[in-house]
Amino acid sequence: MSSPSYELGSIGKKLRKMTLEQFRETCDPAEIIALRGQTTSDDCYAGHNVVLRALGNPSPRDRVGIVTDLLDHGWEVGRMDLFMLLENKKRDVPVELPLVERLLAGGSDPNYLERRGSRPVMLLLRGWVSDEEAAPILDAILRDGRFEPHQRATDGQSVWRRLHQSRLNRAQSIDAIRAYCQRTGRPIPRLGDMPERSFDV
Amino acid sequence: MDHETYDMVAARTFTVPLTGLNDYGSGPRTFATRTRGGAVFVRTEINRENFGERMTGRELCTLVPADHGLVIDGALVDAAVVTIWRERATVDIATDRAAAAARYGTVPDRYVPVPPASTDLASLLYSLAKEGVEFAGVVRFLGDEHRVSGDLPPELVDAAVAERARLIAPAVGAPLSIHLSPGNGTGDSSTNFDHEPAWDPAPAPEQWVEELERHPRTDPFIPDWWLLRLRQAGAL
């Protein structure tokens, strides 16, 4: 008999590729929750966390449906969930927005620093979607109030600075984040505050 | 240094050394300091540090921690004087920002989309770097003119000029300089929108007013040194 951790890992791998209909036909969310109760793993370890795996499903409709079903049955929101959702390059904002709001309300971290170095808002605004398209999700993150635009990725750039480097296509998001900083009393950095080594101007 | 030197310090551009940063510039961002008689002074000249952050003197005054003095050109400025300078700098910057917002506008209703990214410059940089061509330099822009500093192949300069033309957007402005080098062997370019280019001789302040009219920026995208040039030209 396999261990609960092994079972969860096996289910998680399938959830990355399943449609919502296949999930509802073949999986029992209550059983998955029960298996989770028998493990003591870190919520940011995708090996045992089927929600993290499901959030990597390439279809927006399927990943939102599967994760929503699991949350409805009592799966707890994890710190890394928002990051995993926004890591997907294929985005359907109207479909994903309710899940974004639910993850934020459940305590998912809008500043999560993943080991490869990025943060959720960097993924949201990395060039795959336009400012207008991403605005509802960015607004949801800003409404949540925990977002820190000055926290840096491992390459030394803050979310704010990275946006400024692509300012030609991100001016609307920059304005939204600047207004958020003013509203919440967060400092607004100077233009050009990136530390540079040997950058000849 | 006394109060009368504030105007001189406020208008200068400093590259203030930072410590605690790794090779990528991440990590705590702390001003490098020196201590004299128990008092702490923020240094304004790079010595052994790799990283510095460019800023105007008045921006620096607003960022110096409380109870810290400054070392400027080897002279020590007491914390008490810096406290007075901080208050002046805060008011001066806010006044100029408000004037710039009134004259040049602030957040527009909608931004005009820019054309899709071009790969011409990146491709050329990559091929030159892979061929082992040695080059390094800066192309500086002002108005419709450009000037090359360093050693850059003509076709690379042409590509940089074309890239700059693509990167012009209303409300956000245009690049001021593009720095080009082989980098780590695949070509490297840095596009500068924010720092005052090192023109020699320096352009007249009126030329920066013209540049702003030619490539409009709203207040949030006008860096502080540019505000100083606008004030010098009587355009605030």
What total of structural domains would you count in chain A? Answer: 2
CA dist A62 and B144 (Å) reads 51
Same domain, A151 and A94: yes
Hey, are the CB atoms on A192 and B55 less than 8 Å from each other?
yes
Same domain, B16 and B92: yes
Q: Is residue A125 part of a domain?
A: yes
Hey, of A119, A167, A178, A188, which one would you mutate to test binding to chain B, going by the most B CBs within 10 A of its CB? A167
Q: Could you report the per-residue pLDDT of B74-126, keeping only the tens digit for each?
A: 999 999 999 999 999 999 999 999 999 999 998 887 787 777 767 889 999 99
Domain termination site, one of A76, A99, A134: A76
Same domain, A12 and A72: yes
Q: Is residue A198 part of a domain?
A: no
CB-nearest to B195 from A130, A165, A192 is A192
pLDDT tens series, chain A, 201 aa: 578 878 888 888 899 999 999 999 999 999 898 888 787 767 777 777 899 999 999 999 999 999 999 999 999 999 999 999 999 988 999 999 999 999 999 999 999 998 778 899 999 988 778 888 999 999 999 999 999 988 888 777 788 888 887 888 888 899 999 999 999 999 888 888 777 776 788
Same domain, A30 and A117: no
Q: What is the pLDDT of residue B109?
A: 75
Which residue in B168, B163, B167, B174 sits closest to B197, CA to CA? Answer: B174
Average pLDDT, chain B: 91
Hey, are the CB atoms on B55 and A190 less than 8 Å from each other?
yes
Domain that holds residue B96: 3-104
Same domain, A71 and A83: no
Hey, are the CB atoms on A195 and B51 less than 8 Å from each other?
yes
Report the run of H or E that residue A122 belongs to, with start and end. helix A120-124
Same domain, A106 and A24: no
Average pLDDT, chain A: 88
Q: Is residue B51 part of a domain?
A: yes
> Chain B window 73-102: which residues touch A at a Cβ cutoff of 8 Å?
none
Q: Looking at the DSSP assignment, which residues form a beta bridge with residue B15?
A: B54
Same domain, B190 and B154: yes
Q: Is residue A201 part of a domain?
A: no
Same domain, A158 and A97: yes
B55 touches chain A (CB under 8 A): yes
Q: Could you report the per-residue pLDDT of B137-148, keeping only the tens digit for each?
A: 999 999 989 999
Same domain, A108 and A86: yes
B167 touches chain A (CB under 8 A): yes
What total of structural domains would you count in chain B? Answer: 2
Residue of B nearest to A188 (CA): B220
Q: What is the pLDDT of residue B88?
A: 97
Q: Is residue B222 part of a domain?
A: no
Q: What is the DSSP string of B46-105?
A: -SS-S-EEEEEHHHHHHHSPTTEEEEETTEEE-HHHHHHHHHHHHHHHHHHHHHHHHHH-
Q: Which chain A residues contact residue B110 at CB under 8 A?
A: 172
Same domain, A104 and A175: yes
> CA-CA distances (angstroms) from residue B175 to A169, A194, B184, B212?
14, 16, 23, 12
Q: Is residue B33 part of a domain?
A: yes
| Residue A127, SS3 per DSSP | coil
Q: Which chain A residues contact residue B163 at CB under 8 A?
A: none
Same domain, B96 and B11: yes
Q: Which chain B residues contact residue A199 at CB under 8 A?
A: 179, 190, 192
Q: Is residue A200 part of a domain?
A: no
Mean per-residue pLDDT, B153-168: 93
What is the rounded (10 degree) CA torsion for A69, A71, A75, A80? 120
Same domain, B75 and B142: no
B184 touches chain A (CB under 8 A): no
Domain termination site, one of B58, B80, B104: B104
Q: Could you report the per-residue pLDDT of A87-115, keeping only the tens digit for each?
A: 998 899 999 999 999 999 999 999 999 87
Same domain, A88 and A66: no
Domain that holds residue A21: 1-76
Which amino acid makes up residue A148? Answer: E
CA dist B188 and B186 (Å) reads 7
Same domain, A42 and A104: no
Q: What is the pLDDT of residue A35?
A: 85
Same domain, A15 and A40: yes
